[in-house]
Amino acid sequence: MNRMKHKNGVRVRRKVIQGAMFGIFKICAAANGIALAIMLYFLVSRGWRAISWTFLTQPPIDSMTKGGILPCIVGTLCLSIGAIAVALPIGVASAIYLHEYAHPGRILRLIRLGINNLAGVPSVVFGLFGLAFFVVYLDMGVSILAGALTLGALTLPVIIGSTEEALRAVPDTYREASLGLGATKWQTIYRVVLPTALPGILTGTILGISRAAGETAPIMFTAAVFFTPSLPTSIFDEIMALPYYIYVLATAGTDIEATRPLQYGTALVLIALVLGLNLIAIIYRSRLRRGR
């Protein structure tokens, strides 16, 4: 069977090409981890000195050159939770409509076009929109409410996209089986489809929270302020927020160089917050997955 035997040159060349390609793929994949590692190294090495119990639980003093960032932590938490509270119900409901109910046609195409364009709007434009519409026109003032609504609009396409993905992953045979037993379409959705799609929806929520927590431009005009002496007591209060605080300290603070450690410390806290929120959702999602 001479024609089946490897010609020596060919075999070697194939091995080299395979090896090279796998090597390139591995490097690309590793690059993700390396980039994150480098970033974390920078932040940690420059900011760890600022982290202390005081830093996390006290408000800033001495014109924000000392003290802590408690109001910022509280503000960012309020905004993230608020944004999800707005985007999750509307986003999931929209995705359910788009995937389970809508008939193919012009209206469906228009809606999808709208969602895709919404996803592409720059975050500073969202900020301006939030200012003009929520803060001024609806007279909410600079407040948690205005900020959460603006961030919610920004997060909406993320939620819709990942929820639709999750719904698509639910096998049609489940829907058929349910309808065949005499369930209505809505019963099928909330008893079978949604529970099955829940892990995927949670993934979208994770992405959404991360995005909402870190955005600066949308909250600059709508919710966050340079400084406020007390913690928020209502949704109409203005707040301080972690990403905006970093910006403020680094550009317009009273002593930019001296407060560098504070800036890095704030950045560290922000990342920790985002990772913490992610972790909660990941744990919940893996519990659900194990349950099947």
Partner 1 sequence: MQDSLKMSTVDLDFYYGNFHALHGVTIDFYENQVTALIGPSGCGKSTLLRCLNRMNDLIPYTRVEGKVCLDGEEIYEPDVDVVALRRNVGMVFQKPNPFPKTIFENVAYGLRVNGIKDKAFLADRVETSLKQAALWDEVKDRLHDSALDLSGGQQQRLCIARALAVEPEVLLMDEPASALDPIATQKIEELIRDLKKRYTIIIVTHNMQQAARVSDITAFFYLGEIIEVDKTETLFTRPKLKQTSDYITGRFG
Site residues, partner 1 (CB under 8 A) = 103, 171, 173-174, 176-184, 187, 191-192, 195-196, 291-292
Nearer to partner 1 among residue 120 and residue 182 (C-beta): 182
- As measured in angstroms, the least distance from the Cβ of 208 to partner 1 is 25
- As measured in angstroms, the least distance from the Cβ of 228 to partner 1 is 48
Crossing angle of the two packed helices 144-169 and 106-120, in degrees rounded to 10: 130
Residue 57, number of CB atoms within 10 A of its CB: 11
Nearer to partner 1 among residue 179 and residue 272 (C-beta): 179
How far CA 183 is from CA of 6, 154, 180, 190, in Å, comes to 61, 36, 7, 11
Contact 222, 244 (CB under 8 A): no
Residue 17, number of CB atoms within 10 A of its CB: 10
Nearer to partner 1 among residue 192 and residue 272 (C-beta): 192
- As measured in angstroms, the least distance from the Cβ of 287 to partner 1 is 14
Helix then strand then coil, % of the chain, to nearest 5:
75, 0, 20
Element (H, E) at 67: strand 66-67
Nearer to partner 1 among residue 14 and residue 191 (C-beta): 191
- As measured in angstroms, the least distance from the Cβ of 180 to partner 1 is 4
- As measured in angstroms, the least distance from the Cβ of 112 to partner 1 is 18
DSSP line for 220-256: HTTTB-S--SS---STTS-B--HHHHHHHHHHTSS-T
Residue 6, number of CB atoms within 10 A of its CB: 9
Nearer to partner 1 among residue 9 and residue 182 (C-beta): 182
- As measured in angstroms, the least distance from the Cβ of 292 to partner 1 is 5
Find all residues with CB under 8 Å of 81, minimum gap 6, and list them. Answer: 148
Nearer to partner 1 among residue 65 and residue 187 (C-beta): 187
- As measured in angstroms, the least distance from the Cβ of 264 to partner 1 is 46
Nearer to partner 1 among residue 89 and residue 195 (C-beta): 195
Contact 242, 72 (CB under 8 A): yes
